């Protein structure tokens, strides 16, 4: 009897370990203020398994590569912690679709430098927000976006991806899978990938609720337009505004209109498990993503494992 109980316990322990290997890595955007090594220290304290960082100020075009010695120590620290993959987020100023040639040029050069930064630190790629027509015709803006993307990819190493993030609306390009899919098809590069932001999709009305059936419909729609293998990252954010608000306002997990239940429903869908989940929430002390939000997602993951073992 005792041996039978031990065998069952051992079986369930192995099953839980196997489930954890299959389920998504949970991470967050981590501040690199003070340098790459201080950033890694913050990442450790937050308990992230993957992460996203800026290559410079998000309010500037400039990107400055750290000294080789710092990069080398950073790579050692990343290897020790096992934090992987790492993503770079591009500047918020970028507008590859701008009619203003100088803004478009600065945006292209900034992204090229960000991809160079990603290559140097062995990051997976650079996430960026598609541009805006700024009152002009959207179809022409999309064509300018495509031309700019092609220039970025042509002028950079093939070692890292350029990752288009869906937008929340506000007259921007990329609020739905059709526009993003069109861009991918026209560029025609295996280096161009997609990041899906939960808050942005909700705010754009691309998904109206995070009920399980609606999530499956949303994912199938994106897979049809961009192909499943091209969706390489989830930005996991609750929304401070209602569905179809067109306002990009992130909220902490469980504190917004998507709600904790919505993320539990997302976690139950196995096709999301191969894609890293990265938080970009304001934090419970308004200092950016924090351990508490990371722990909430880990608890949701643990609950999903238990229910699956059920």
pLDDT in tens, 182-209: 999 999 999 999 999 999 999 999 999 9
In this structure, what token pair is assigned to residue 10?
Answer: 């051992």
Closest CA to 200 of 134, 280, 272: 280
Q: What is the pLDDT of residue 7?
A: 63
Q: Look at the chain and report how many structural domains it folds into.
A: 1
Give every CB contact of residue 177 below 8 A, 6+ residues apart in sequence: 166, 206, 221, 222, 224, 225, 226
> Domain for residue 297, yes or no?
no
CB atoms within 10 A of CB 166: 26
Q: What is the pLDDT of residue 17?
A: 56
In this structure, what token pair is assigned to residue 74?
Answer: 């950073």
List, for residues 101-159, the tens digit of each pLDDT value: 999 999 999 999 999 999 999 999 999 999 999 889 999 999 999 999 999 999 999 99
CATH code assigned at 62: 3.20.20.150
List, for residues 43-92, the tens digit of each pLDDT value: 999 999 999 999 999 999 999 999 999 999 999 999 999 999 999 999 99
In this structure, what token pair is assigned to residue 67?
Answer: 């000294």
Q: What is the pLDDT of residue 22?
A: 74
Give residue 114's domain range. Answer: 24-291
> Domain for residue 298, yes or no?
no
Between strands 86-89 and 125-128, the pairing is: parallel
Q: What is the mean pLDDT of residues 163-178?
A: 95
List, for residues 249-273, the tens digit of each pLDDT value: 999 999 999 999 999 999 999 999 9
> Domain for residue 195, yes or no?
yes
CB 305 within 8 A of CB 79: no
Give the model's confidence band at 12: pLDDT under 50 very low, under 70 low, under 90 confident, else very high: very low
> Domain for residue 7, yes or no?
no
> Domain for residue 287, yes or no?
yes
Angstrom distances, CA of residue 298 to CA of 48, 154, 223: 10, 39, 26
Angstrom distances, CA of residue 33 to CA of 49, 56, 79, 215, 285: 20, 9, 20, 36, 18
> Domain for residue 1, yes or no?
no
Phi, psi (5° rounding) for residue 161? -90, 150
> Domain for residue 207, yes or no?
yes
Phi, psi (5° rounding) for residue 196? -105, 125
Indicate the average pLDDT of the chain. Answer: 93
Q: Indicate if the pLDDT at residue 15 is higher than 70.
A: no
Mark residue 66 as left, alpha or beta (left: phi above 0; alpha: psi -120 to 50; beta: remaining).
beta
């Amino acid at each position: 009897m005792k041996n039978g109980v031990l065998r069952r316990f051992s079986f369930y322990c192995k099953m839980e370990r196997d489930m954890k290997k299959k389920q998504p890595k949970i991470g967050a955007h981590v501040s690199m203020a003070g340098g790459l090594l201080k950033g890694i220290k913050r990442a450790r304290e937050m308990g992230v398994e993957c992460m996203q960082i800026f290559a410079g100020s998000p309010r500037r075009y400039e990107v400055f590569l750290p000294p080789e010695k710092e990069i080398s120590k950073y790579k050692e620290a990343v290897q020790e912690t096992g934090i992987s993959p790492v993503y770079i987020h591009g500047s918020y100023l970028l507008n590859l679709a701008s009619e203003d040639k100088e803004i478009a040029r600065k945006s292209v050069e900034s992204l090229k430098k960000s991809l160079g930064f990603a290559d140097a630190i062995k990051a997976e790629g650079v996430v960026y927000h598609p541009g805006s027509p700024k009152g002009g015709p959207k179809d022409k803006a999309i064509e300018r976006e495509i031309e700019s993307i092609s220039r970025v990819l042509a002028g950079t190493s093939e070692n890292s991806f350029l990752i288009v993030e869906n937008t929340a609306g506000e007259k921007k390009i990329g609020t739905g899978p059709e526009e993003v899919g069109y861009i991918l098809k026209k560029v025609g590069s295996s280096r161009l990938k997609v990041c899906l932001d939960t808050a942005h999709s909700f705010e754009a009305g691309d998904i109206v609720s995070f009920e399980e059936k609606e999530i499956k419909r949303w994912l199938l729609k994106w897979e049809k337009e961009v192909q499943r293998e091209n969706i390489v990252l989830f930005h996991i954010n609750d929304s401070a505004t209602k569905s179809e608000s067109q306002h990009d306002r992130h909220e902490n997990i469980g504190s917004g209109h998507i709600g904790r239940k919505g993320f539990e429903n997302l976690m139950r869908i196995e096709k999301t498990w191969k894609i890293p989940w990265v938080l970009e929430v304001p934090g419970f002390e308004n200092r950016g993503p924090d351990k508490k939000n990371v722990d909430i997602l880990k608890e949701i993951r643990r609950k999903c494992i238990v229910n699956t073992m059920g």
